[in-house]
Amino acid sequence: MALAHTPPMGWNSWDCYGTTVTEAEVLANARFLAEHMAPHGWDTVVVDIDWSDPDARPHGYVEDAALVLDAHGYPQPAPGRFPSATDGRGFTALAAEVHALGLRFGVHVLRGVPRRAVAAALPVPGDEGWTTADVADPTSTCAWNGHMVGLDHTHPGAQAWLDGLVAQLASWGVDFVKVDDMLAPFHADAVAAWSTAIARSGRDMVLSLSPGTRLSTEHLPLLREHAQMWRVCDDLWDRWEDVHANFSRLARWAPHQRPGGWADADMLPLGRIGIRAERGEDRSSRLTLDEQRTLLTLWVMARSPLMMGGDLPTSDPATIALLTTPAVGHVLRTGVDGRELLREPVGDGSDAGELVVWAARAGDGTDGRYVAVFWTGDRPRTERLPLSSLLGDDDAARGPWSVRDLWAGDDLPAPAGTTAEPRGVLELEVPAHGVRWVELHRQD
């Protein structure tokens, strides 16, 4: 089966710990994931940016950070934060512990080569005598982090140095690499070089590319060829407008989702976040419960990977309950053909908002259909939607259809036909900034 045959699901340290996560915190989250969430498909644990910085702190990056590097300039886990990483063992022990829990282990890497390695002109693996100063492109910088400069992919030693980096990740047991600063601006050469290096490493590793500010669908052929996940937005935080802006993006990307290649709407800023993070203070997600359901439903219907950003052991049980609602993992993995059916402004004044309707089909051989009715207004709204608009004229006629509320987990009355709407009408009250998410099945 292809790598990332279904959208990856897991936990990532960024939203709660920023650049500062420790081995103990990673393991605590891994254990929680294995115990409480793995049955629903959550199986990947990712250590995000700057794990080689011994002085990492909240609210930004350390300027000119004293990254721990080996003799080739490859980043090593800072031993003060990752005690098992001493003596050049890297993430070997941590990856093994994660694997022992039945999970996959992922790490973050920034595009390019460390500035400090360039300054030190460290040897590139191999006999050609190249150094990191030879293979770097000092004009290729990252707009938001100063630790690295780009590789000069026109120099043959650039690929050699990158091959060595990825080989080391493979030797540690890494299953998933989130490579950052790749898509905005779009670095086609770096994307291809990473794909090559992974292939040469001989280990299956999911290649996840970030961030995706203004990512155009025109890059799809190149992305499909080289990677398994590509972000389609900038960092997403616990703000309603961040969630809202993804309606348009996912409507555009959803028709292109395929096994082995997934548009990624970013991590889930849910539960307890901001403990020592880049943005904001220690808090519970500021999204309301209905906004959280909107986010999860939209991500699932569009088949975005789900990477939980909150600290699992200390998040409130209601958040864990949302994430382990059976429909979340089930529809993400088996739903197909997710797409926007309607997006309409309705109402005015304080009643104004947008009605957004998505549909998907069960890809598991049953006749199930999934429908999500979103409402962006500030007040609840009752909508009446004819089944023929949700299922198509032919399928609506093949009913009657029964309806199940996927968030509540219970059955709703079957929509009865009327003279005006012989196929029946689904009537739902949708909360403010909320969603009603249902599954329809043909009655026997």
Which residues in this chain contact a copy of itself in the complex, by CB under 8 A?
139-140, 185-186, 188, 213-214, 216-222, 239-241, 245, 248-249, 251-252, 255, 286, 339-345, 348-351, 355, 357, 359, 378-379, 386, 388-394, 419-421
Q: How many CB atoms lie within 10 A of CB 83?
A: 13
Phi then psi for residue 123, to 5 deg, are: -70, 135
Which is nearer to a copy of itself, 97 or 181 (by Cβ)? 181
> What are the Cα distances from residue 361, in Å, to 54, 164, 338, 391?
48, 44, 7, 10
DSSP letter for each residue of 224-293: HHH-SEEE-SS---S-HHHHHHHHHHHHHHGGG-BTTBEEE---B--SEE-SS-SSS-SEE-SS-HHHHH
Which is nearer to a copy of itself, 169 or 191 (by Cβ)? 191
CB of 188 to a copy of itself, least distance (A): 5
Which is nearer to a copy of itself, 94 or 387 (by Cβ)? 387
Which is nearer to a copy of itself, 41 or 212 (by Cβ)? 212
Which is nearer to a copy of itself, 133 or 341 (by Cβ)? 341
CB of 214 to a copy of itself, least distance (A): 6
Q: How many CB atoms lie within 10 A of CB 66?
A: 12
What whole-number distance in Å separates Cα of residue 340 and Cα of residue 325?
A: 23
CB of 36 to a copy of itself, least distance (A): 30
CB of 159 to a copy of itself, least distance (A): 18
Residues 6+ apart with CB under 8 A from 89: none
Cβ(202)–Cβ(170) under 8 Å?
A: yes
Which is nearer to a copy of itself, 141 or 324 (by Cβ)? 141
Which is nearer to a copy of itself, 5 or 379 (by Cβ)? 379
Phi then psi for residue 358, to 5 deg, are: -120, 155
CB of 123 to a copy of itself, least distance (A): 26
CB of 394 to a copy of itself, least distance (A): 7
What whole-number distance in Å separates Cα of residue 311 and Cα of residue 268?
A: 11
CB of 343 to a copy of itself, least distance (A): 4
Which is nearer to a copy of itself, 38 or 250 (by Cβ)? 250
> What are the Cα distances from residue 208, in Å, to 14, 146, 319, 348?
15, 21, 25, 41
Report the first-to-last Cα separation within the chain, whole angstroms. 34
CB of 413 to a copy of itself, least distance (A): 21
